[in-house]
Amino acid sequence: DAIAISQSKGPSAGGGADGSMLLFPTVEPNFSANNGIDDSVNNLIPFMQTHDTISAGDLIQFAGAVALSNCPGAPQLEFLAGRPNQTIAAIDGLIPEPQDSVDTILDRFADAGNFSPFEVISLLASHSVARADKVDTSIDAAPFDTTPFTFDTQIFLEVLLKGVGFPGSPNNTGEVESPLPLGSGSDTGEMRLQSDFALARDSRTA
Ligand code: HEM
């Protein structure tokens, strides 16, 4: 939702953090880069329907701020209301994918909102509290670090370790070998995105 905005393509490409993924739930969740976002969309739509004075964009930002407050270590985010409801869906192709090169990712964030390489890595603190369901469909909820419920710097440390294997099946698009692929009990091992690996080793973002 939020990254679906483009200075070069203009306003018709998408309005960024405008709630369009909730307002056009049969369009944006179907973009391949959004695979898995339907969980959040389907959970938020009932709130949107029962609170019709709250815009979809405000609802998503508020939900994000509340969600983050559940993770120990996370900052308390300021929430500002006032986004109008979007009238168009965003176009496909604006969401970065894990198989994208560092050049492509940095260009995309710069085009979206003049984000610097430093700011892109700061935003990737989000992968401290993230798990993947769709990169490898043979496993559920593969975390990107060993502390997926704690907002900490562990992802930035673990992404530098040597990759030794995959938590599930090999040869998935956008995934590279992880340093800690072994699971325990019902927990899968850690997954490493190709993009996180590449960003951690590029001179502009390492
Ligand atoms: C640099 C480009 C980025 C790429 C290529 C990328 C890619 C991905 C991928 C492939 C997943 C796993 C989806 C799945 O299989 O379920 C994921 C999860 C996630 N990403 Fe990113 N991401 C990027 C940047 C960001 C940013 C900037 C944020 C937020 C500020 C973010 C927040 C998250 C969160 C919260 C999850 C976990 C979702 C969940 O647990 O259901 N990512 N990302």
What would the pLDDT profile of 34-88 be if each residue is shown by its tens digit? 999 999 999 999 999 999 999 999 999 999 999 999 999 999 999 999 999 998 9
Given a cut of 90, whether residue 103 has pLDDT beyond it is yes
* 175 and 88, same domain (yes or no): no
Closest CA to 106 of 5, 37, 191, 195: 195
Q: pTM for this one?
A: 0.96
Asked which of 46, 64, 95 is the last residue of a domain, the reply is: 95
* 1 and 88, same domain (yes or no): yes
Q: 15 labelled as ligand-binding? A: no
Percentage of residues of the chain with pLDDT beyond 90: 98
Given a cut of 90, whether residue 116 has pLDDT beyond it is yes
- Ligand 1 pocket check for 36: Cβ under 6 Å: yes
- Ligand 1 pocket check for 133: Cβ under 6 Å: yes
Asked which of 80, 95, 110 is the last residue of a domain, the reply is: 95
Task: Note the pLDDT of residue 186.
Answer: 87
Residue 12 lies in a domain: yes
User: Tens digits of per-residue pLDDT, 149-187?
Assistant: 999 999 999 999 999 999 999 999 999 999 999 999 989
Asked which of 66, 95, 124 is the last residue of a domain, the reply is: 95
- Report in angstroms the alpha-carbon separations of 147 from 45, 137, 140, 154, 198: 29, 21, 16, 7, 21
* 91 and 27, same domain (yes or no): yes
Shortest-distance atom of ligand 1 to CA 193: 10
Residue 2: give its domain's CATH number.
1.10.520.10
Q: How many domains does the chain have?
A: 2
